[in-house]
Chain A
Amino acid sequence: MKFAPSPLNDDYGHDLSADPVVTNKRKEFEHTLRIFILIAITVFSLLLLRVFYLQFIAGAEYQATSEENRVKLLPIPAMRGDIVDQNGVVMATSVPVYSVYLTHLDIKDKNTQNEVIEKLAQILGANDPKITPDYIRGQIKTMQTRMYEPVLIKTKLTESEVALIEERRAELPGIVVEKGPLRYYPPYEGTQMAGHLLGYVREISADELKRNNDENYRLGEMIGKFGLEKAYEKYLRGQDGYQQVEVNYLNRPIQQFYSQVPEPGNRLVMTIDVKVQKAMEDAMDEVLKRVQAENPKAQAGSGVLINVRTGAILAMVSRPGLNPNDFIGKLDQTTADYYFRSSPPAHINRAIQATYPPGSTFKPITAMAALDSGRLTPDEYMTCTGAYWEKPYIRCWSVHGPVNLNSAMAGSCNVYMQEAGRRAGIDNISRVARDFGLGQETGVLLPGEEQGLLPGKDWKRAWGSSYASNRYKARLLELQKRTEEQLQAAATEEEKQKIRKKDAQLRRVIEQDYNNDMTYWPYWQAFETYNTSIGQGRNQFTVLQLANYMATLANGGNRYQPYLVDRIESQDQKVIQKFAPTLINKVSVSPETMAAVRRSMLAVTEPRGTAHFLFSDFPFKVAAKTGTAETGQVGDDKERDYQGVFVAFAPYDNPEVAFAGIVEYGRHGGTSAGLVARSVFEQYFGLKSSNHASIMPAGRVEE
């Protein structure tokens, strides 16, 4: 290694000022220094410019991100609004349940956390062996990226569990027991009420979350899925509150700063009268049980009671029943099968989501159409010989002899009504039925309402043409297939020639048949009018449509939109929205015609009427019509498998309420749905004696 002698004096190196020889060198050095300054200026300017860009041009975005980084919102669920009957009896409510959570706010280290977990598992595991320390750790782990949120360990704590945890509060830092709302549908005097009508809530699905993007639903939030809960979701839901928590980079909460109190949902005051509803629920169960003794197929039914002056629905029942409480939490296999896969599936609200042939309950429509056309008078007599005199000679269920409007209605004579229908013509029948809302959605605010079908010439044209052309296409296809097969099997050209010739021939036949079909199928046939006149054939209506048709007839021709909610109130009982009756249309039938038909329906409950036995002990008169409709189901016994249909309004003199009901496989309307009507009227008009032994009145007459 070389060691240079290092001078100690100030002349070491090149003393630039003292050496004139290197002035050039010095100039060069100063030039270099200027470059250094330039470089420094450039570096500092660049840094400063970049900071300026970050802080002022992109600043807003970074500020937002910095807020997002540290502030997390914890939702405080709002109490869902109650659903009450017209007198304030609670039918759907939210009850507080206790849930235990672990928060990271008070657990500082791993050891404490482990201790707490062990102790908590000890307390909760006593009742629920599922809860082990590992289970709790698992729960904590699933929430690892959201440590600012409390981890739910168990919900629906028993009182003793709550007490145990509270007692050992000091040993359980970070464990909180919190009250949260759980939807509950209380039974009324032992009967689970109006399940289909109320509907239920469940956790929001991913699909709904996407669809209701604007409504700010949270993952896991409850949403109305059926019935009124769904239809009035936005009123019932309320507004969640929030708690703002400051978190650190691990998402551990550091402090809470701000909270917004949740706004509870609104209260729905229904038009339903809980007492009448209960009468209908109980009567329906009892009737089904009775009918089942004769025909085990009888499992389903439905009934509606409606205020004829407003369209307000007072009771609505569907069987098999639906208990909304079943839908809270996880649905087990048997329950799910009962609601969705059994026969008949229980989930359907049969008052609005199922359609039925009306049977004889359609006859008042036929009568009104005939009377209003001027081709029939109430007093004209016809003679029932047990079958109609026009082809296809549809039979009457009895031989009534000479009948006028009242006796024909009372005895439900098919011959009279077919003749009335013939005279009126299908166009008039369709018009009147449409006026009364049959075959159209009633507009009731419940999800999933069915429209049904009111057949007429237009419908027949559409249906018949497509029927004929479908048949034509199917036959052509079959022919083509057969010809191809034969051609393949054919050995000689001669044979093939023959097959082709045959094909052309058959093609012509099919073509001709199609032309014939098109002159027949798209056209309304006379017998279809006869079928329709007595409520058979293609007619399919909902029970609610039938009830509203009765209400319209009872009030003199004003068709209202049936409704279920009288008003919406805020939590402090202030009315937010009041629903008034909505008139949809006035019927085109004359008041005299309606009066005559109402009178004929009164005859149904008079001696010799098919429903005389039902209301003979009532202190007022009831107008009604019984019906027995073919089920149209394959495999049903033509002798006994009929739907029992019943419609009525009361009191006859000054109608208040109208009823429609059906009991599937009830056979006779009067002895099935009619009994439900009787019970409901008894309750509504306060006739019901307290120790009512049997639903069946004395002196029953067969239809």
Chain B
Amino acid sequence: MDLKRIKNIDVTLLVSVFLLLTFSLIILSSASSNVGREPLDFVRKQATWMLIGITLAGSFLFVQYQTMARFSWYIYAANLLLLMTVFFIGINVNGAVRWVNIGAFQFQPSEFSKLIMIVTFADFLARRQGQLNTLKELLPCFAYVAVPMLLILKQPDLGTSLVLIAIMIGMMYAAGANKRILTSLITGGLVVIVFSLYAHFQWGLPLPLQEYQINRLIIFINPDLDPVRTGYHIRQSLIAIGSGGLFGKGLFNGTQAQLNFLPEHHTDFIFSVVGEELGFAGVFGLLLLFFILIVRGLRIARDARDIYGSLLVIGILSMFLFHIMINVGMTIGIMPVTGIPLPFVSYGGSAMITNMACIGILLNVNLRRRTILF
């Protein structure tokens, strides 16, 4: 790598990522204190994932990001193979096979597949610059994403499938795809989803989803529909955040999390712990860090040397934004419960490594930006 490029690095982005990681370790120390065998069990593991992620991201910097494009189709094929492994050697957790064992560790292929999707789809789109105007030209793009998405949906992992759609839309939009077609497709899709859900409950229209998934999709509208499971999660989460106030109950003092009223409080519902223990101040700080990450990321996309780089960044940012919106929205009762973790903060190795790899790619594009002449 050309060491001169180091001066290009976006320090603001870097700092906000490190602050996010620090934030994660702090809130996790409290949120997981009553989960693991030892109080710091999960913090230690999370820190390990972070180190692995940072190493991975750092080593990414030495390779030109464009190199990845050469292997797009190999990577795409590997992704499909990886996703299929869960059906053979996967571990069934709560009725879904998302995990694969590797030695002492388990990992979630669907987590990595999101990044792989971005990396390969960026290449796919870059090659079709200016040829994304008609529906006929768009269809191959949809098909390209649909194959891994259906595999993920089969696990079943509705959340990650939705993330893939969000990534696809974001990237196609940035790649200059016909906006009218895209917008009408999104709108049409939403209408179809809403209508079929309505039809399901009104007239018993069969849907290719498990009943619990359907419930989770709509339960946020009225948590009292299912007061013992999903509705209970949402209620407890609302109580946790709502009782936080301006500065929260203090780290380790959030009764909703510490007394286990709030399930999954170290993973999917960690944002509720932030709201409860650190209050509005903590929520504001966390969202601000995310916002900085997104805005600086968009700068990198703008300044990217080539469209491939821009699309990589846009894909990553779409993923982050979608994750944040769905995860936080779920904890505050305005989004369906889909099991999507909060980037950098929720406990989870696969997600952490993937997210850090994303940051590595962001910085890679950042370092190799086009020369600014003015």
Contacts and interface: CB of A to CB of B under 8 A. Distances in A.
A13 B291 CA distance: 29
Contacts of B333: 50
A52 B332 CA distance: 10
B290 A44 contact: yes
- Residue from A4, A6, A16, A247 having most chain B Cβ neighbours under 10 A: A6
A23 to B, nearest CB: 13
Nearest to B176: A28
Interface residues of A, number: 54
A59 B306 contact: no
Interface string B190-234: 000000000000000000000000000000000000000000000
Contacts of A11: 306
B129 A13 contact: yes
B245 A59 contact: yes
A48 B373 contact: no
A545 B279 CA distance: 72
Nearest to B71: A6
Contact of A70 (B241, B245, B261, B371): B261
A498 B55 CA distance: 122
Contacts, number: 163
Interface in A219-257: 246-250, 254
Contact of A13 (B72, B73, B306): B306
A416 to B, nearest CB: 84
Interface string A23-35: 0010011101101
Query: Would you call the interface of chain B mostly helix, strand, loop, or mixed?
Result: helix
B291 A29 contact: no
A55 B66 contact: no
Contacts of B291: 40-41, 44
Interface stretch (B90-98, B100-108, B307-315): B307-315
B321 A39 contact: yes
A250 B232 CA distance: 13
Nearest to B322: A43
Interface stretch (B9-17, B35-43, B323-331): B323-331
Contact of A246 (B243, B259, B310, B314): B259
Contacts of A583: none
Contacts of A250: 260
B243 A62 contact: yes
B368 A10 contact: yes
Interface in A33-65: 33, 35-37, 39-41, 43-44, 46-48, 50-52, 54-56, 58-59, 61-63, 65
Given A12-B306, A13-B307, A69 B261 contact: yes
B256 A66 contact: yes
B48 interface: no
B295 interface: yes
B86 interface: no
Contacts of B240: 66
B54 to A, nearest CB: 25
A48 B287 contact: yes
Contacts of A33: 174, 298, 301-302
B136 interface: no
Contact of A6 (B70, B246, B329, B334): B70
B67 A16 contact: no
B307 A43 contact: no
B157 to A, nearest CB: 23
Contacts of B173: 32, 35
A82 to B, nearest CB: 42
Nearest to B255: A70
B283 A36 contact: no
Contact of B244 (A3, A36, A55, A248): A55
A8 B245 contact: no
B66 A40 contact: no
A32 B176 CA distance: 8
B119 to A, nearest CB: 12
B260 A248 contact: yes
A571 to B, nearest CB: 37
A48 B295 CA distance: 17
B242 A62 contact: yes
Nearest to A71: B255
Contacts of A69: 239, 255-256, 259, 261
7 contacts: A33-B298, A47-B324, A51-B241, A55-B241, A66-B239, A69-B261, A247-B259
Question: What 5 pairs between A and B have smallest CB-CB spacing?
Answer: A62-B242, A6-B70, A13-B306, A66-B243, A248-B259
